């Protein structure tokens, strides 16, 4: 599965977690997500997610004027967002734990499967 596909499923959760730590404006959230290890995250995806979570009532928003240039739009978490974060965080943990267990189970050898596939592909192309 593409990393971006995985990311799409958990971006709401990751954005909520970042904003829950501290209020932030769009690019600030992007930077903290990347610093947290989600290097693939796209600017527009994060901005869109912030707008959607705000529209869904999970975030508050306020504008901070800037002397140097255009104003910044900050987002903060509210009670609704905190509740969503707790629920989705719980599902993520159980989901991730289940996948971890599957990957750790004896007899599973995803590396071998991958290797076979790539060998077959190599045979086909040669």
Contact residue for another protein among 9, 36, 42, 57 (CB under 8 A): 42
Nearest distance in Å: CB 52, another protein: 5
Longest CA pairwise span in the chain (Å): 63
CB 96 to another protein: min, Å:
22
Burial 36-59 (b: 16+ CB within 10 A, else e): eebeebeeebbbebbeebbeeebb
92 sits near another protein (criterion: CB under 8 A): no
Residue ranges binding another protein (CB under 8 A) = 11, 25-27, 30, 42-49, 51-52, 54-55, 63, 66, 69-73
């Amino acid at each position: 599965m593409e990393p971006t596909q995985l990311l799409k499923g958990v971006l709401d959760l990751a954005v909520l977690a970042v904003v829950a730590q501290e209020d932030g404006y769009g690019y600030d959230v992007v930077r903290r997500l990347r610093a947290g290890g989600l290097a693939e995250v796209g600017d527009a995806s994060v901005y869109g997610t912030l707008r959607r979570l705000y529209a869904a009532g999970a975030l508050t928003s306020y504008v901070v004027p800037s002397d140097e240039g255009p104003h910044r739009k900050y987002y903060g978490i509210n009670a609704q967002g905190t509740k969503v974060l707790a629920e989705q965080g719980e599902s993520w943990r159980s989901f991730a734990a289940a996948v971890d267990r599957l990957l750790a189970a004896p007899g599973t050898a995803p590396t071998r499967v991958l290797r076979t596939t790539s060998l077959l592909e190599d045979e086909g192309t040669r």
